[in-house]
Amino acid sequence: MKRVLSGIQPSGELHLGNYFGMMSRMIKYQEENELFCFIVNYHAMTSIQDKERLAKNTLNAAMDFIALGLDPDRSTFWIQSDVPQVCESTWLLSNIVNVGVLERATSYKDKLAKGLTANVGLYSYPILMASDILLFGGEIVPVGNDQKQHLEMTRDIAIRFNQTFGEVFIVPEPDIEETTQLVPGIDGQKMSKSYGNTIPIFGLEKNIRKQFMSIVTDSKGINEPKDTNTPLFQLYSLFLDKSERKELKDRFASPGLSYGDLKIELFECFWNRFEPFRKKRDYLASHKDFVLQKLKEGAEKSSTVADRFLNKAREAMGLNYGEINV
């Protein structure tokens, strides 16, 4: 059984892109692997500098994850800032990373292009991500195409550290699911809060229904064949198995299909699929102490692992000076 490690930013309201893009995948991992999963609120500080918003988003993200099926008794689940050893580890690793490596990070360039301030936290983001992985002995790291470069950096950092100071860190392997479908937003672009095109998982029924009814479509009439390369078809396909997707494709190719009726169908499919999750989410919101206790247990378990790797790194780098004979 290998250790799978992944984190999610508490960036706000959870949407279908988060769920189908990463969360559902993480939850499946706990069936056959040792899953280490955490809410990366240190990373979120590069873009959120409102204390109430960050704290609220962090707790909400934890409740969302548990509501959607992550079992804190089967997996190790914690909040990043509850294991501050990762900060010391980041400093240790930063001393073997060349500035040029960070300057080539495409994610850094993309975020600057979107208007984020070029602070040191954003600049050194890949080192903190490497620390997140290496300090907890991550063997497999699921990543999307937008994070591939960061994982390559992590592997390079681990290899360079081990070559310089001796074997300390596990070199992680990526798990890139090439067949993962891009989750489109209601406007056809990638579903993202920055585009304002998301469909939330939790919220008022009328508000979510409105989002589904706002999915962009073309102007084809009811008796014309419809294009499957559209956000409506792609979003609906996420809820279907292979045979059901073929049936939907046939419906798109046949006359008599109404976009409005199809959007109502899709909303009802979504609403029924996530009904058990909404009930559990409501329960967790009214039992905050339970959530906090599970996060505390996860932090304690992950701290034990972090201490082991951090102590090995400190010793390898000469920081455990009391053990040296003079």
Point out the residues that are catalytic: 111, 190, 193
Residue 39 in tokens? 């809410």
Q: Spell out where the chain has E strands.
A: 3-8, 34-39, 76-79, 140-142, 173-175
Q: What single-letter amino acid sits at 233?
A: F
Identify the burial level of 114 via C-beta atoms within 10 angstroms of its C-beta, where 0-12 means exposed, 13-18 middle and 19 or more buried. Answer: exposed
What is the full DSSP assignment across 105-123? Answer: -HHHHHHHHTT----HHHH
CB environment 274-311: b (16+ within 10 A), e (fewer): beebeeebeebeeeeeebeebbeebbebbbebbeebbe
> Is residue 20 a contact partner of residue 238, using CB atoms and an 8 Å limit?
yes
- Our separate counts of H helices and E strands in the chain read 16, 5
Helix axes 275-285, 51-67, angle to 10 degrees: 130
Selection from 305, 277, 295, 297 nearest residue 41 by Cα = 295
What is the rounded CA–CA span in Å between residue 165 and residue 160? 8
> Is residue 129 a contact partner of residue 148, using CB atoms and an 8 Å limit?
no
C-alpha of 219 from chain center: 35
